[in-house]
Each structure stands twice: as C-alpha cells, then as structure tokens.
Amino acid sequence: MAGRSQEALYAELDLDLSWSEDELPQVERTKHVHALHPYLGKFIPQIVDVFLQRHFRPGQWVYDPFAGSGTTLVEANAFGMHSIGCDISAFNCLLAQVKTKAYSLGSLEMSLRGVLEQSRQTADVVDCADAAPWLRKWFAPRALRELLAYECVAADSADDDAWDVARVILSRSARSARRTTHFDLDFPRTPTLKPYWCYKHKRTCAPVQEAAKFLRRYTTDSVRRIRAFAELRSNTSVHVLHADARFVDLPDAVDGIITSPPYPGLIDYHEQHRYAYELLDLPDLRGFEIGTAKAGSGRKAIDAYTEGISAVFANARRFMSPGAPVVIVVNDSRDLYPRILEDSGLMLEDRLKRHVNRRTGRRAGEFFEDVLVCRST
C-alpha cells in the first residue's frame, strides 16, 4: 500500500474497526481485566464487541480456538453469552480462567494481602540453591528469594481462587523483575548485569534487584481490575480448555467463532511467558504450537501452519450448525487463508480491512489487518 494517499487507504477500510487514539485511548483498550498481565499478539476487546453485536445475541455460545489471554471470553461474558476457549498454552489458560472467574471479592483481597505480607516476612530465609538454573540466571538473588517466598506462601495458604490470581500476580511480577533492560521486556536474549543506557527513561538505569515492589503493585492493580470487571460480569458459562484445538472435543455445541489465530513465524507463545513456566511448573506443550517463531517462515513451516490452522477450523465445524458465523482477525500478508478456508470447510462472506496504528514500545508502527467473516458449510 506504499505510495497511496491516506484518503485512498481509508476508503477501503471498515471504519467501525479502525479507531484513532482520541476515539479509543489506551485506557479503554486495556480496560479492567484485559490488562491483568502483558500479552503480545492479542486483539483489542473492541473488535470482539463489534462482531458480537453484528453476528450474535445474548444467551448463545461463542468459541475461540486460539483463546490466548481470553479477550473473546471476557467480552462474551460481559455481553451475556456463554463461551468456550481452547489454547495449547497452560499459562494462557490460567490467565483466561482468572479473568473470567466469579470471586468473593472481599475474601480474595484479604487472602492476597495475607500472602503478600507473609511472603515479605519470610523472603530473607529462602534458599535459592535448588532453584532452576534458568531462574538463577535471570533473577538477582534478592528478587528470586522474594518470588520463591511468594510462591511458597501462596501455595500453602491461599484457597483455589486466590491461588490462581496469585500465580498471575507472581508471573507479572517476575516479568518485571528479570535482569533485563526496561525497554526490552518482551523477548530479552541475555541477562543484563550492569548499568545501561535506557531508551525508555532516557537515562542510565541499573538492572532490577528486587521483586517485592512489583508484587505489591500488581496485587493492588489486580484486585482493582477484578473488581471493575465484576460490575460487568454476567452469570453465563465460561469453559477454558487446555488442549490442542485440532482435536479437542467441546463440551457444548457453539453458535459461532470469534478468534485471532497466531501468525506464522512470529511469536513463540510458551517462550513469551518462560518465567511463568519456570516459576509455576506449568505443563509445557510448546511442541504442539502452530506457527511458532522457532519454526521460521520457510515453505515447510508455512505448509505446516496452513495445515494446522485448517485442522483447527475443520474440527470446530463439528460443533457448529451450517451457516454459523466464523470471524477471523488476521494479517494475511501471505494470502494463506483462501486455502485454509477451503480446506476447513468455511465459506468467505466478507473480507474487511482495518488500520492498526497503535503499537507500543520499540515495536511502534502501523499496519493493516483483515477480518474474515465466514460461514460454516
């Protein structure tokens, strides 16, 4: 699209899906539980809202076979719909479950505050000698002691609901407490051990030495966000399945799909949250990820990606009636989806284009992505 005028570009867009910063500020894109934990590659909740309004009604069932951080499930619940999400990443499933659960809010906050205080009192006596080598490499001794103390206390004293939320708080704190630069929290390659020039703060910064300040900060923020969503939350069902969407059996029939599949060769979703897998001892199924960055974007990798995505939608069709809407948000720059739709038994009804002009951090820029509105055959 290089060389074309802004007017010509926008003439092709669905303006209901292309918002300016003034129209849709960051505080709205990251409202309530949507910012409970950083997550690369998720679509904004407002996109889900548009297609819930266009193609679904309250009381129906929607499925997201690439549930990720749970955006579709959260918005469907607020809309009054039942939802099912599936993901191969155990951390993604944990995050989606925590976002969509109903809590006894007073009890939850009291339990989390208790974990925080007890871990503060016991961190100095924690022995890191038996911690995994990866953890000892990426965290300063003090930070690792504080993280391990929090995990131990939460596991021993928190009830099931508080334990799940505590694990998300622990993961978010670990992400911030790693030995890395402030401007490269997404995929740091090697630990940073010495002071460095910080592009984010425009000054010399030192590697983080502690985790306690993040545990305090994110406990307060998590409770606030869960309380905010509780005001919108409906009593509809939410099922989160830790499984391979190519083969999973859904617990109910669904009335359609809203999803954003992974892009080929871009992100390794298990590696993105490596700190969580190391600290929480989560089952690691990265070998079953579709389109991982590690696989690259060569012909063989693209063929495997195409077959994998096709298999996911073909499997989902078993649980939908003919004509059910399937909304796929994707940057199909390689034009893979005509084949994927054909192979999976979906019929393209409309191909909408949206302008994405708000990316954060050192990935700042803009691009265009497609929304494929399909029907199950």
- Is pLDDT above 50 for 293? yes
> Would you say residue 15 lies in a domain?
yes
The reply to whether 137 and 200 lie within a common domain is yes
pLDDT tens profile 243-260 = 999 999 999 999 999 999
**157-161 LR contacts (CB < 8 Å, sep 24+):** 157/111, 157/114, 157/115, 157/118, 158/111, 158/112, 158/115, 159/107, 159/111, 161/101, 161/103, 161/104, 161/108
CATH value at residue 58: 3.40.50.150
Give a yes or no: residue 100 inside a domain. Answer: no
In a domain, 123, yes or no: yes
User: Is residue 184 included in any domain, yes or no?
Assistant: yes
The answer on 130 and 76 residing in a single domain is no
How many structural domains are present in the chain? 2
Q: Does 58 map to a domain? A: yes
For residues 59 and 110, membership in a common domain is answered with no
Q: What is the pLDDT of residues 302-355, one digit of tens each?
A: 999 999 999 999 999 999 999 999 999 998 989 999 999 999 999 999 999 887
pLDDT at 119: 97
For residue 368, what pLDDT is reported? Answer: 78
Does the pLDDT of residue 361 top 50, yes or no? no
What pLDDT does 4 receive? Answer: 52
Q: Is the pLDDT of residue 362 over 50?
A: no
Q: Which domain holds residue 11?
A: 6-80+238-267+287-376
For residues 163 and 146, what is the distance between their CA atoms, to the nearest angstrom? 17
Whether 126 is in a domain gets the answer yes
Domain-embedded: residue 94: no
Q: Is the pLDDT of residue 79 over 80?
A: yes
Tell me, yes or no, whether 181 and 126 share the same domain.
yes
- Say whether pLDDT at 16 is over 70: yes
The pTM (predicted TM-score) of the whole model is 0.92
223, 323: one domain: no
* Residue 28 shares a structural domain with residue 109: no
- 90 in a structural domain: no
**Tell me, what's the pLDDT at 182?**
87
Average pLDDT, the chain: 92
**Does one domain contain both 186 and 244?**
no
For residues 216 and 338, membership in a common domain is answered with: no
Split at pLDDT 50, 70, 90, the class of 360 is: very low
- Residue 361 sits in the same domain as residue 248: yes
